Each structure stands twice: as structure tokens, then as C-alpha cells.
């Protein structure tokens, strides 16, 4: 066998690959215009700080939208991805992948789930959940012909056709008709609406097979689930053989101050999903279920990239770091600190702000409906001052920093917001 010359003379990545020139006009000529982007580009990050190509420094309270759990350039994550890619980064699920097994075991040991399926994003994890619900309904649950999945208004479950249908916000569904059949919507935190929908949708061989909800609505405006609502919901699901499914894509993996958002609600889901923060910014999705609804068999669902050695080692490192470094305690303390500062700002400007809410390090401050100012206006003004924030709908500002954020950084973020608001409130 001849020597592999490619290995003998490794190609050094070019300067244009590692440091491409930032030119927004050139960018917009080639990339589809699916995002309203700010005209800046980030060049590097460290902890909760980012620097753009102009050298301007930002305090990052977006974290890749609740994704960079350990912040930027975390030494443990760097060591893991470097060592794993040197050893093995991708093989097919034709073979056993020990890193995938270890990650699944960690999740099962630290949650109410018995089984895990791996994919690459939140939407994909929710797709897997929707398929599992339907297979369970067709094969176990009264052999239902037309199972209905109940979701909440103002929810967010992703952008694929089925998950955008599950998303109870018409603005995301516009122009994508025909949507996927088998979904119905109820207002969030309203138990009477659930009871009515279950009764209304029960006809022939069709009925509600699952209720799919976020423990705290993220995108829809940082709305925490209410304890009494979820306790009643669990009871209703048990009495009517309905699966309770939680979308933990944004709130899971420690962001809420507990490992999983459902731990705030006194109930366990039958199925739940995770993605955003799970591997700290390396793309991953996961769908978890209890043994009784573990109805997937070989060939029923799959993903080429799903659960590869690289991403699973990354996720396991993120989870072990959360545990070893007592990060949940930091999330709880920094969350309290942030909410108390936001409440002080809100009460100083009652004409601007109407509410502060959240769990751990997923928090929102709501803008008054009586003023024309939107969350995007404040996001832009904050960016000028070096603070990165994200909107959660037109009237809610979202604060989702890395879970390692320090007391000094929360203090700095609050001071920057005070400065922004003082300037705006003319
Ligand atoms: C972001 C999000 C999704 C979609 O995740 P993607 O990785 O963008 O597909 C789904 N559900 C919730 C609750 C989310 O916040």
C-alpha cells in the first residue's frame, strides 16, 4: 500500500479561511436573507466578553441565544474538542459510539428519562418527539388514526414544517401552507382551555394524544409556567392517557437554576427535548423519553450526524463542568441579583417597563404597550454601549448570559442598561 501523501504534507489552513475579511455587502450577495442582522461581526470571545472586527468590546448577555453555557473559549471545552477531534470526530451510527452512550447515561442518571435519541438542533429534537408521539398513538394509544398534539399560543418549537406548525405564533407560519395536520392551540397557563380542547377534539378515531409545552416560554416573551397549572395538567394527562411533552430546548441544561426546567413545576414529563445549551455551542439536539413510550425501533428514526463522538464528548464536558464547578448555584445567585437590579430599573421607569420575570439566568423585562419603543430599539441602544441583549418578541428584552457570568459582570450589565434607559427616557 502506498503512503498517504496528504498526511505526509498537511495543508496549513489559509489566512483567508481562518480570518475571512468582513464585508457585509459581499456577504449579502451570497447568503440567503433569512435574518435581520446587525452590521457587525464578532471576531473572538473570552468568557462573557466578545470583540468585534473593529476591536469593540461587548458584554455578552445573549450567549448565542442561551447556547454558550460555559461562555466563550472555556479551557475545558477547548481541551475536550481538541483531543476528541485528534482521536475521532465522526463515524456513522452503523457502529456503537461510546461517547454517545456515556452522554445518554449522564442524562438518564440526572433526569426523569430512561432513553435518549441524539440529533443536531432544537427543531430536530422536537421533530423526533412529534414522530415518537405519533408512533406511540398509532401503535399503543387506542391505535388512534388521527392523534392531535396540543401546543400553546405564543410558544416556539422551531422552524421545520412540523415544528413551525407546533409553534403557536401565526407570524412564523405565514406563507408556509399547507401546514402539518394534527395540531391545535391553547393559551398558556390556562387549565380550563386545556380541558375544553380535550373535550372538543374528541371525535371518532381522533383525540388529543399529547400536550407539548415549554416549562417557561422563551421566544414568546419569557413567561414561566405556573406550578398549579402544571400539577393539574399532569393529572389530566394521566387520567386521559395523554403524553405530557416538554420542550426544554432553551430552558434546560441549568439555565433555569435547576438542571431541567420541569424541576420548577413539580411534575415529570413523559418526553422532553434539549438542544441550545447542551454542548455549549457545538450543534446538538436530544429527545428523551420514559421507557413506557420508548416505541422507536431500528429504522424508524435516524440522523447522520446525530450523537457523533465529537459533539457527545463536548456535551458531556459541559454537563460535567456544570456539576463539578457548582454552576447551578451561580445561576441561582446571579439570577436573583439580575432580577433585583431589573426590578429596580423597572420601578424607576414605570412608564417604560411593566414587568420583570424569569428563572435563573433566563430573564425578561417587559416594555409598556403604551409606548412605541420596541425591544429591538433597546437592543440596538444597548449594543452601542457594549451590552448584547436579545429580544423575546416585540415587547420583551431577554437576558440569557453564559451560566458562568460573574457578580461583577451582572453588575456591569445592569449599569449599562441604566445608562441606556436614562438616555432613551427623554
Ligand atoms: C430555539 C428553540 C427551538 C429551536 O431550536 P433550533 O436549534 O433553532 O432548531 C425550539 N424550541 C425552543 C423552546 C427554543 O427556544
pLDDT tens, per residue, the chain with 426 residues: 455 555 666 778 888 888 889 999 999 999 999 999 999 999 999 999 999 999 999 999 999 999 999 999 999 999 999 999 999 999 999 999 999 999 999 999 999 999 999 999 999 999 999 999 999 999 998 778 899 999 999 999 999 999 999 999 999 999 999 999 999 999 999 999 999 999 999 998 899 999 999 999 999 999 999 999 999 999 999 999 999 999 999 999 999 999 999 999 999 999 999 999 999 999 999 999 999 999 999 999 999 999 999 999 999 999 999 999 999 999 999 999 999 999 999 999 999 999 999 999 999 999 999 999 999 999 999 999 999 999 999 999 999 999 999 999 999 999 999 999 999 865
Nearest to 234 by CA among 290, 293, 194, 284: 194
Tell me what pLDDT residue 3 has: 54
Query: Ligand 1 atom closest to Cα of 160?
Result: 9
DSSP-based three-state secondary structure for 20: coil
Q: Which residues form ligand 1's pocket by a CB distance below 6 Å?
A: 121-123, 126, 156-158, 214, 218-219, 247, 249-250, 275-276
Cα(168) to centroid(ligand 1), Å: 13
15-22 own/partner pairs: CB under 8 Å, 24+ apart: 22/53
Burial label for 54, CB within 10 Å (0-12, 13-18, 19+), is: exposed
What atom of ligand 1 comes closest to residue 126's alpha carbon? 10
- Taking the centre of ligand 1 as the mean of its atom positions, its distance from the CA of residue 129, in whole angstroms, is 13
How is domain 1-67+326-426 classified at the architecture level of CATH? Alpha-Beta Complex (3.90)
Sign of the Cα torsion 119, 151, 157, 337 reads negative
C-alpha 365/C-alpha 349 separation (Å) is 12
What is the Cα–Cα distance from 127 to 130, expressed in whole angstroms?
A: 5
* Closest CA relative to residue 44, chosen from 29, 36, 35, 55: 55
List the chain domain ranges.
1-67+326-426, 80-324
Instruction: Please state, in angstroms and as integers, the Cα–Cα distance from residue 88 to each residue in 81, 308, 352, following that order.
Output: 10, 9, 53
Residues in the chain: 426
With beta carbons less than 8 A apart as the criterion, state whether 61 and 338 touch.
no
Task: From the CA of 155, give the closest atom in ligand 1.
Answer: 13
Determine the Cα–Cα distance for residues 324 and 318; give it in Å rounded to an integer.
10
Question: Which atom of ligand 1 is the closest one to the Cα of 214?
Answer: 13
pTM: 0.96
Q: Across the beta sheet with 390-391, what order do the strands follow?
A: 353-359, 362-367, 396-399, 390-391
203 alpha carbon – ligand 1 mean position (Å):
32
Closest residue by CA, ligand 1 atom 15: 250
Q: Kindly give the pairing relationship between strand 206-213 and strand 223-224.
A: unpaired
Determine which residue's CA is closest to atom 5 belonging to ligand 1: 122
pLDDT value for 425: 63
Which atom, in ligand 1's list, is nearest to the CA of 158? 4
Q: Closest Cα to residue 156, out of 386, 398, 325?
A: 398
How far does residue 26's CA lie from ligand 1's centre (Å)?
29
Residue 62, CB-side half-sphere exposure with 13 Å CA sphere: 16
Q: What is the pLDDT of residue 1?
A: 47
Question: Could you tell which of 62, 214, 275 is best to mutate to test the pocket of ligand 1, judged by most ligand atoms within 8 Å of the CB?
Answer: 275
Contact 144, 309 (CB under 8 A): no
Task: Identify the CA nearest to 311 among candidates 103, 95, 70.
Answer: 103
The neighbouring-strand residues paired with 388 are 60
Q: Ligand 1 centroid to 218 CA: how many Å? A: 9
DSSP labels for 130-155? HHHHHHHHHHTSTT-SEEEEEEEBT-
Strands laid side by side in the 387-388 sheet: 42-46, 49-52, 57-60, 387-388
Report the Cα 410 to chain-centroid distance in Å. 21
CATH number 3.40.640.10 is the correct assignment for the domain at 80-324 = yes
Distance 334 CA to ligand 1 centre (A): 24
Amino acid at each position: 500500500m502506498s503512503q498517504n501523501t496528504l498526511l505526509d504534507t498537511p495543508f496549513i489552513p489559509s489566512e483567508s479561511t481562518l480570518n475571512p475579511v468582513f464585508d457585509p455587502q459581499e456577504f449579502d450577495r451570497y447568503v440567503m436573507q433569512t435574518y435581520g442582522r446587525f452590521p457587525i461581526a464578532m471576531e473572538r470571545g473570552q468568557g462573557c466578553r466578545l470583540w468585534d472586527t473593529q476591536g469593540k468590546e461587548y458584554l455578552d448577555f445573549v450567549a448565542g441565544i442561551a447556547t454558550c453555557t460555559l461562555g466563550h473559549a472555556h479551557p475545558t471545552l477547548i481541551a475536550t474538542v481538541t483531543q476528541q477531534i485528534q482521536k475521532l470526530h465522526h463515524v456513522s451510527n452503523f457502529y456503537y459510539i461510546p461517547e454517545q452512550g456515556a452522554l445518554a447515561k449522564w442524562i438518564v442518571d440526572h433526569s426523569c428519562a430512561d432513553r435518549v435519541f441524539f440529533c443536531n438542533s432544537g427543531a430536530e429534537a422536537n421533530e423526533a418527539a412529534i414522530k415518537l408521539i405519533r408512533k406511540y398513538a398509532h401503535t399503543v394509544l387506542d391505535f388512534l388514526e388521527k392523534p392531535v398534539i396540543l401546543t400553546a399560543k405564543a410558544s416556539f418549537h422551531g422552524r421545520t414544517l412540523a415544528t413551525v406548525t407546533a409553534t403557536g405564533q401565526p407570524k412564523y407560519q405565514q406563507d408556509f401552507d399547507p401546514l402539518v395536520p394534527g395540531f391545535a392551540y391553547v393559551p398558556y397557563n390556562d387549565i380550563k382551555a386545556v380541558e375544553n380542547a380535550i373535550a372538543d377534539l374528541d371525535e371518532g378515531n381522533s383525540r388529543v394524544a399529547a400536550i407539548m409545552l415549554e416549562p417557561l416560554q422563551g421566544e414568546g416573551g419569557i413567561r414561566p409556567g405556573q406550578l398549579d397549572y402544571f400539577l393539574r395538567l399532569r393529572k389530566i394527562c394521566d387520567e386521559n392517557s395523554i403524553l405530557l411533552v416538554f420542550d426544554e430546548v432553551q430552558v434546560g441544561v441549568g439555565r433555569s437554576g435547576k438542571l431541567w426546567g420541569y424541576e420548577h413545576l413539580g411534575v415529570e414529563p413523559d418526553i422532553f427535548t434539549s438542544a441550545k445549551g447542551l454542548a455549549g455551542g457545538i450543534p446538538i439536539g436530544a429527545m428523551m423519553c420514559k421507557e413506557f413510550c420508548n416505541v422507536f425501533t431500528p429504522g424508524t428514526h435516524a440522523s447522520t450526524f446525530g450523537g457523533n463522538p465529537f459533539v457527545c464528548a463536548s456535551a458531556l464536558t459541559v454537563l460535567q463542568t456544570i456539576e463539578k464547578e457548582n454552576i447551578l448555584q451561580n445561576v441561582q445567585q446571579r439570577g436573583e441579583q439580575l432580577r433585583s437590579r431589573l426590578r429596580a430599573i423597572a420601578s424607576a421607569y414605570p412608564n417604560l417597563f411593566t414587568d420583570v420575570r424569569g428563572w435563573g439566568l433566563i430573564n425578561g423585562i417587559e416594555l409598556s404597550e403604551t409606548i412605541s419603543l420596541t425591544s429591538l430599539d433597546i437592543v440596538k441602544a444597548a449594543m452601542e454601549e457594549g451590552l448584547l441583549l436579545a429580544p423575546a418578541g416585540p415587547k420583551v428584552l431577554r437576558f440569557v448570559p453564559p451560566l458562568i457570568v460573574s457578580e461583577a459582570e451582572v453588575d456591569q450589565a445592569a449599569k449599562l442598561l441604566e445608562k441606556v434607559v436614562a438616555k432613551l427616557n427623554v
